[in-house]
Each structure stands twice: as structure tokens, then as C-alpha cells.
Structure 1
């Protein structure tokens, strides 16, 4: 503002760009009311606001939660000899969606078309994203299919919310169907899209399909990243297919991807569940040799495997090793050991230890009650 004053003293009068920059800054720093005063000053100096100026103000009004005022501002623009553009409508639509006013958003879209303002890909993506978050996938598909009629080609941001929505509802067949539709229309998913799909498939125990998709990624010009492999390795480990998970470990190494604690924890958990505890322990040592520090989940998996194999003494020794490596035991660590002691026929001793740990606040009362029921 000081620079503006000096500028005007030198009879170098600001133009619409200067004022718009100042109005935007004022909206952010002092609020819309102050920005409106600057708009009035702008007009009084004979400088006519353009659509960018109005868009800045409408955005500021929406951010202050005054949506109805923003809509009135939009409707009044033509009387100020300024036609709203697609960005103006997108600002209002985004605000309508964020406040749950879907019916108003649909009405505004119709008005926008009636005014001769063509919607953009961004316009449709705002609506699709909102509908998918609300679980209205059918309506989102209708909007998606309307896009070409308005000269808009859906992009990955158009399809991603749909894929995420189908995954959330565990409709994996529909998710894969739309992935294929997406590719057939020349819109290639990115690694984020694939990671979303792979995570959902693994959670749904459809690991074979996940492996198949993972194997096809490179041919589709999409390189898997660490999280991609970790997702599938974890999925395989949880359904008893650790051997296949180990093959993926070797594959990712060949591609120059360095396994992390999540990778190893998944494999350790899988091996332990399959009774291959000694092999799992070797992985822990390999992890440490690679300079990666095992976490409580890694150690807990080993102890659980040892307890299930009725080797609780070794599990207790492993607890000592865990502490010596600077890893703090969790509540789960203690409950695993207590259940292991009880599993070996020492229910009375296990209950006494549980009560003591509960008294010391190491184990929550609710957790202690759950463990006690199992004894």
C-alpha cells in the first residue's frame, strides 16, 4: 500500500492488475470487507475491475463461509459490465460442494451452460470428487459420461475418485472395470491410482489379481515404487503366500528399490504366522545389517510366532533383545507374552503377571479383560 501511495504521488497510476494484486493480498490479510473498500477506491479512480478482480473477491467471500453473498456477487457481475467466466463458476461450485449444497451445485452447472459459459474439466472434476466422497457413485458416473458432450475429455482426476469410491465400497469388479475403461479411452492411470487399487485388492484378500496388476505396470508405462511393492508383499504375507512375497522382494531389489522396515515387517509377520520363526529371526538380523532399525511390530511378530510354537522362553529372551536394541515394548508385546505363558499351561502365573502389569499401567484394563477371557 505504501508503494501504491508513492506510485500515485509520482502520477504513475495503478492499473487493474495492480489493484487485483492488492485486493487478493487484502482478502488474505485483512478480510473481504477491507478488500471491498479497495474495490470502491479502484472504481473511484476510474479503474474498471475485470473478471480476475471479481474472481479474487468471490474466492475471498467463499473462504469466509459467506457462500450466499458470493452467489449474489456472481449474479450481479453482468450489471457491472463483467461476465463471469468458468473460473468464477468453479470457485462457487467448489464452495457449494464443500458445504454439502449439491442441489445448488447442479442448478449452478445448468445456469452456467445456459449463460453460454462452457464447463471445463476442472468443473466436472469438482462435482465428481464431491459425489464420490458422498458415496453417490452412480450420479458421479452420469456426470463423467456427460463430459464429452460439453467438449471435455475426462482425465485421471476424473476417474480417480470413482476408483477410490468403488474400492471403499469393496466393489473391486467395478473398480477394475473402470480402470479398463479409463485406459481404453486413452487416459492412463498414474502410480497413485494403482496404489489405491492394489491396497483395496489386498485388503479384500484378492492378492492374485493384485500381483497380476503389479506385473502389468511396467508394460503400461507406470513404474512401481516402494509403497506399491510393500502393499502387495503385505497382502501376500497375510494370506499365507510368503514365498511369493519373497520373490517380489528380490524383484524390487533388482529394480533398485531398497526395502524398508515396512517391507521386512510384513515378511517377518508372514513367516512367523507360517511357523517359520527362525527364518523370520534371520530377516530381523538382515534388517539390522542393512542399517534399518526394526520396530515394535517386527519384534511382536517374532514373539507371537514363538509363543504359538510353545517357545515362550525364547519369546521372553527376544523381549530382552528387543529392549537391548533400543525398541520400546508396546502393550501388544506384553499381551502376546502373557497369552503365550497361559498357552503353555501356566494360566495362574499369566493372570498374576497380567494383574501386575495392569496395576502398573503398562496394560490397559480393557485389554487385560480381553486377555483374561482367553485364558
Structure 2
């Protein structure tokens, strides 16, 4: 029996710089994808325990049932109202319409399909409660359509707004800092800006409390206490070293908070459970596989997916890793995508293998076909 946990990454005062293919130094994404998190995590495992233990660990991840599956990171946001404190967890919107999503004749006369679809399409991430209702519960309602229409026109009041559906970007702020690069040979200077993301925080006495940050889900295939303890220690080390770019400037520092799903909310416990009526799977990680028979099962007429190119530089030298194309978070398939590690070792690099994780993690959902 596997074990699910949720891990919050609390950045406090530390900014982050998460670069991806296609964006320059002046921009930063607000979250880290599963392959980047995996690589950074395993690299710190190697630093902590040495070459032989990390080679043994990678052998386990090359097996059909890897010891651990992780999601990409997503935004969480601490909130409070007059009666309680609560946390909003955002999940990627599946690339299929939810149950009861209206089409044309299903709409009220006051509603325009294109009007509310414009706002619907912009919702790349949904609060957990809305995600659960649309894809695991009663589905999309006429009230949702009306509220999305109102939002498109500039004013929305209702359950979607109350749940934080339109407040995703309130969890972080983007800013830029000026930098100067000096050529070591000619002393020529080059002025540029680097983009950062700052999550919300507040002063709590003499300490800093994170009001937003990142979280990810982890599924341990076997409850191996020693391995889990070692992986937690490696994640703690990663938090001290920082994740992402600009770590020499203090970016990416975090503290990891491990939580059992039952201690977070009953909704999370419900969402990871499957049943016969939940016939589809929504990716919450990147996914890669090179087995054509498996891909043929996944990529049928009922699937919906996006492709993400993954590349980048290898830290041990000025060497580019091989490019791979992966299925992105939010992709929907008729079966659970398992995935595997992709060998992205450059041909000129001989010291050891370099892997990028395409091991999939998905959640069961209902969708409208």
C-alpha cells in the first residue's frame, strides 16, 4: 500500500528565479516542474550520501515501479476570513471540459458561450475545492457560467470568487534586479536585469511566516522508512542550498513542511482515491515514455494534452543536456501514465549518466466527452 504526502515549500523572505526554455533572464516562472525538482533533489541526495548510494537510488527509479512519484510544484496561499484560517491549493485545470459544461443550446439567453469561455480558458489553475467540484463532484453549473460571464465583463460575485478562483496571481509578485557582468579577459561590462518571484509573507513576532509558496504531492510506492528519511534529509539540504537559478544571490531558499493528506483536508484524501466512475487521469507532473505501444494507448481520440520541450545546461560544465519533449501538467488520458527516466546524457559527457524525470503522477477525474 502506497503512501501520499503533501510537501509545502516555504520561501519566507527568499525570492526565486525559475527559468525555462523560451524565456530570458528578465523573466521568471512562479513554479518548478517535476523534472527540475527531481534533478535538484537527487543531486542533493548524492551530495549528502555519496556516489554509490545515489547510483543505487537511480537504479530503483529505472524499475517499472519507482520508489517515489512526485508532482510538479503548484501555488498555495494562506487566507482568512471572519471565522477561520484556511489554505487555498491550486491545481492545473484539466485539458477537458468538466461534467455539465454547457455548449450553445445549454446556455441561458443572457449568456454568450464566447463571453464566459474567454475567462474559463484563462483559468490555468483552479482552487482545490473548485477542481474537486468540477472534475470529481457535481460538475459545472449554470451559476458558474454566469459568474464567468460577469468576470469577463469586469465584475464577478459568487462561489468561484469566494473560493479564490480569480486570485491565483495574488500569491506572488514579480520584480527585477539590475545586474552587471564583467568579462574576465577584457573587463568589459554588460548591464542586464534578472527577473524574480517573491511569495507573500508576514512578520510573526521575531520570525517570518510564509503566506504563500509552493507545494507538491509525493506518492511513495512502498513505505520504506529509511529511504523516506534519507529523501527528507536531501530535500532539507536542497532548501538550504536553494532551488532554481541565482542561488549565489540567495534565491530559492526554502523550508520543507511534510504533511499527511488527512491532516491537510478531507478533500485531498478524496481526490487521490479512484473509483469505477472516474475513467480518466489528469497529469499533475510532466510525463515521458518512449514505448510506442504505451503511447498508442494514451494518445487516442479521447485524450487531450500539451507538449513541453525540456532542455537546459548541465551544472558540471558548460554542456547542454539532450532535449526531450514531455506531456505537460493538465493533460488528460484514459489510463494512468506511468512514465520513466529519460537519458539526456550529452554524447561528449562520459563521467556518468544524466537523467530527466518523466515519471508520471496523475489524479483520477470525470470529464465530459
Regarding TM over 0.5, the answer is: no
| Structure number having the greater helix percentage | 1
TM-score class, shorter-chain normalisation, is under 0.3
Higher relative contact order (CA 8 A, sep 6+): 2
Q: Output the TM-score relative to the length of structure 1.
A: 0.17
TM-score by length of 2: 0.18
Tell me which structure has the larger Cα radius of gyration.
1
